[in-house]
Amino acid sequence: MSLIIDHIDLSFDTVQALRQVDFEVQDAELFGLIGPDGAGKSTLFRIMASLLVPDAGRCLMHGHDVVKDYREVRKIIGYMPGRFSLYMDLSVEENLAFYARVFGTTVEENYDLIRDVYEQIAPFKKRLAGKLSGGMKQKLALSCALIHRPEILILDEPTTGVDAVSRREFWDMLKKIQKEGITIVVSTPYMDEAEMCDRVALIQKGRLLEITDPSVPSRSDGTALFSLRSHKGVYAYLEKVRNLEACKHAWLFGDQLHVTLHSEGDAATAKSIIDGWGDSSLEWEKIIPSIEDRFMGLIEQESGEQHINGETF
């Protein structure tokens, strides 16, 4: 097992940042941690990186305890924090050389591993890191986190604020790194990126809600999910759908509404009411929940009706 998170608790003053967080990551797995800001993702990453000590529980990185064996842990992990933390007043190549030396290696020794990433920024190697664009900073940070060939790579929201094209390229790079046998734990607020992971943990308010394999359709919890489309646009139907007796929740979802019914048995009634709305372009069909649907379902379950006003306080 690459990584063992064993019932971790951590509080800051009165805020419980992590509550009984418990999971394991396999060797060479690409493991995603999905959740909004404030869910506790960064806190968990800092514990893994031996920068924070949990109040209770253990965290083992390849068998090394992050509290007792922190020196060993730091040798075998590569950590890319959420905030860009390279030296802005060093050039691209100076940053890379610096990180290599800190870890007692050279850029040449592990160049193969970073070649794909680094060659995209190599034309700018004399430029100061502070003068790079967001996408280039991200590539340099990844290069620096990889230069000592870590066994476990932990990436805290590497794609936040990054456009859809660069995000796709970044995930392609992660897939290649994974093939080198490196275990990757990565967090993201983008639900579509969950599909790229082997397994995903959904986290909200310091608690792990669920761990799932995105490629496996979700288990049924008795409710049924439907989508509604119309050539006239679906926003106009949002209130109407919510007012249906059979409707548990309805949300905008791209060019559709995603509608959860109280039970599968309500489907026929709902369909006949919708047919009566006189819009022949309305399409109503049962769908398989995506990761985002599942996460939304879990949040709704979690907070019940309190969520009407946003997050609970």
Partner 1 sequence: MEAREHIIEVKDMVKKFGSFTANDHLTFHVERGEIFGFLGANGAGKTTAMRILCGLSYPTSGEIRVAGHDVYRERERIKRKIGYMSQKFSLYEDLTVSENIHLYAGIYGLGRKQIAVREEQLLERLGLAHVRNRLIREIPLGWKQKLAFSVAIFHQPAIVFLDEPTGGVDPITRRQFWEMIHDATEEGITVFVTTHYMDEAEYCDRVSIMVDGRIDALDTPAALKQQYESVNMNEVFLKLARS
Stretch of 20-28, 49-57, 166-174, 262-270 lying at the interface with partner 1 (CB under 8 A): 166-174
Dump strand ranges (E) for the chain: 3-12, 15-25, 30-34, 56-61, 64-65, 77-80, 152-155, 183-188, 199-204, 207-212, 224-229, 247-253, 256-261, 283-286
Nearest CA-CA partner of 87 in 140, 129, 138, 144:
129
> What's the CA gap between 253 and 297, in Å, rounded?
13
- Residue 164: CB minimum distance to partner 1, A: 5
Q: Is residue 191 close enough to count as binding partner 1 by CB under 8 A?
A: yes
For 79, 81, 146, 209, the CA distances from 203, given in Å and listed in that order, are 20, 18, 26, 6
Residue numbers 80-139 binding partner 1 by CB under 8 A: 133-135
Among 22, 27, 109, 163, binds partner 1 (CB under 8 A): 163
- Would you count residue 162 as binding partner 1 (CB under 8 A)? yes
Q: Pattern 49-68, binding to partner 1, x per CB under 8 A?
A: --------------------
311 belongs to the binding site for partner 1 (CB under 8 A): yes
| 285 lines the binding site for partner 1 (CB under 8 A) | no
**Residue among 149, 167, 259, 289 that touches partner 1 (CB under 8 A):** 167
Site membership for partner 1, residue 12 (CB under 8 A): no
Site string for partner 1, 212-251 (x = CB under 8 A): -------------------x---x--x------------x
Cβ 37 to partner 1 shortest distance, Å: 4
How many angstroms separate the CA atoms of 262 and 300, rounded?
13
Which DSSP category does 191 fall into? G
CA–CA distance, 131 with 126 (Å, rounded to integer): 11
Q: Is 170 left (phi over 0), alpha (psi -120 to 50) or beta?
A: alpha
Name the residue among 141, 142, 193 with its Cα closest to residue 164: 193
In the shown chain, the binding pattern of residues 194 to 213 toward partner 1, with x for contact by CB under 8 A and - for none, equals ----------x---------
* Beta-ladder partners of 26: none
Q: Residue numbers of the site for partner 1 (CB under 8 A)?
A: 35-39, 133-135, 160-168, 189-192, 204, 231, 235, 238, 251-255, 292, 295-296, 299-300, 307-313
